[in-house]
Homo-oligomer: A and B are copies of this chain.
Amino acid sequence: MSERSEPSTTAPKARLLTGDRPTGPLHLGHLLGSLQSRVAMQDSHECFLIVADLHTLTTRPERERIAELPRNVRAIVLDLLSVGIDPSKSTIYLQSGVPAVYDLAILLQMLIPASHLRSLASIAQMAKIAGVDDERMSLGLLGYPVLQAADILMARAQLIPVGGDNLAHVEIAREVAQLFNEMYADVFPLPEGQASRVPMLPGIGPDGPAASKMSKSAGNTINLGDPAEVVAQKLRTLSGSRLRAFIDALFDDPAQAEAMSAEHRAGQLSDAAAHEQLIQATEALLAPLRERRAAFEADDGLIEEILVDGTIRAREVAYATLQQVREAMGLEPLWKGLIDVAERRALARKKPY
């Protein structure tokens, strides 16, 4: 007690949780928008990366869509590993493989007014993209932010890097956590959203009003798994302001990017010349990914093992949180009380007199 201890190297790191719905392969927009920063934060944070298959059910519950999950889930784990997520540092896990999350979601649903959720633009947007009109929107879609809150809170995560349109959901998680802590006991750290810092990458294709954002649903992506020649071919479709948006996003040095953009705008840099520079910059990013991807793919069963191990790890964390939640609410004492009395009775029966 006489000396202050050295700054401990084993001090617990803040938990971070983020992830993806397994609806298709990850692309260059994901890499620049979130994957690079995930890799960078692996050492400073304890990272939980969720493969959010249950969230896909909120807009795609059809059997055929669920049948696509095994392939999509595997693809996303491989994408994560290829960008440099290290499973010895980060926990990659399958949402539907962590049963405690269902319990937590149902319990948290008791705390949040349905009207708060109905007013979220993000939910209306998801419904619109899925082609679901308001009358047919499922309770599951309305409850999406609460299921997401359960994911975040089960990990007791503090930092939640998200796309800008998802910050409102982290706010819901924070609101629920705050309310829970006030009503029952101080169980949850309050999660903070962190919006991606990179400007949105437009989609490939010639300049025009459509597809201002690279997205799976628009089918205008450069996927992380695309071979070099496909990437080059896709980049060569760019022109005008969209081409310049790529330049801005892909060159690390802002001065260089700005100079190139200005030259292109002034007609001093041709599309073709800009394409070649873009291809070079993109390949500098993607070539190492392809190498890691090939190595993981060659190691039969490794991807599945990593996901299974991560899910088991997430289960342990989730179960521990659920126990705390049940304890704080009084549900655990209820059950424990019953068990204790029943056990005492069983013991008493064994006594001869």
Residues of A within 8 A of B (CB): 53-54, 57-58, 61-63, 66-67, 69-70, 73, 94, 96-97, 99, 102-103, 105-107, 109-115, 117, 134-143, 146-147, 183-184, 300-302, 304-305, 307-309, 329-331, 333-335, 337-339, 341-342, 344-346, 348
Among A99, A115, A300, A346, which residue has the most Cβ atoms of chain B within 10 A?
A: A115
Residues on B with beta carbons closer than 8 Å to the beta carbon of A335: 94, 96-97
In the assembled complex, which residues on chain B have CB atoms less than 8 Å from the CB atom of A143?
109, 139, 143
Assess A96 versus B53: contact at CB under 8 Å? Given A114-B139, A301-B344: no
A137 & B113 in contact (Cβ 8 Å cutoff): yes
With both chains docked as a complex, state the minimum distance between the C-beta of A67 and any C-beta of chain B, in angstroms: 5
B102 touches A114 (CB 8 A): no
Q: Is the CB of A111 within 8 A of B138?
A: yes
Q: A70-B338, A110-B141, A300-B348 are in contact. List 4 more A-B contacts (CB 8 A).
A: A106-B140, A301-B346, A304-B341, A308-B342
List B contacts of A331 (CB < 8 A): 53, 66, 69, 96
- Decide if A58 touches B110 in the complex (CB within 8 Å): yes
Closest partner residue, chain B, to A54 (CB atom): B106
Q: List 22 contacting pairs A-B, 8 Å CB cutoff, sorted by A.
A: A61-B110, A61-B111, A66-B334, A67-B330, A70-B333, A73-B334, A94-B335, A96-B334, A96-B335, A99-B99, A102-B105, A105-B106, A109-B139, A109-B140, A111-B140, A113-B137, A114-B141, A301-B341, A301-B342, A301-B344, A305-B345, A308-B339
The distance in angstroms between the C-alpha atoms of A136 and B106, with both chains bound, is 17
Q: In the complex, which of the residues B69, B103, B117 contacts A139, with contact meaning CB atoms closer than 8 Å?
A: B117
Q: Which of B54, B58, B105, B337 contacts A70 (CB 8 A)?
A: B337
Q: Min CB distance, A277 to chain B, in Å?
A: 42
Report how far A43 CA is from B183 CA in the complex, Å.
Answer: 44
Q: Which residue of B lies closest to A57 (CB)?
A: B110
**A300-B345 CB under 8 A given contacts A70-B333, A338-B307:** yes
Q: Count copies of this chain in the complex.
A: 2
Closest to A341 in B: B304
Query: How far does the Cβ of A177 sit from chain B's closest Cβ, in whole Å?
Result: 15
Chain B residues whose C-beta falls within 8 Å of the C-beta of A348 in the assembled complex: 300-301
User: Which of these, B136, B137, B139, B141, contacts A142 with CB under 8 Å?
Assistant: B139
Are the C-beta atoms of A330 and B69 separated by less than 8 Å? yes
Using Cβ atoms and an 8 Å threshold, which residues of chain B touch A63? 183-184, 329-330
Q: Which residue of B lies closest to A22 (CB)?
A: B334
User: Cβ of A135 and Cβ of B110 under 8 Å apart?
Assistant: no
Compute how far the CA of A135 lies from the CA of B119 in the bound complex, rounded to whole angstroms.
11
Q: Which residues of B contact A62 (CB under 8 A)?
A: 183
Interface pair B112/A106, CB less than 8 Å apart: no
Kindly list chain B residues whose C-beta atoms are within 8 Å of the C-beta of A69: 330-331, 334
CB-CB under 8 A from A103, the residues of chain B are: 99, 102
Q: Are A334 and B53 interface neighbours, CB within 8 A?
A: yes
How many Å lie between the Cα of A107 and that of B342 in the bound state? 33
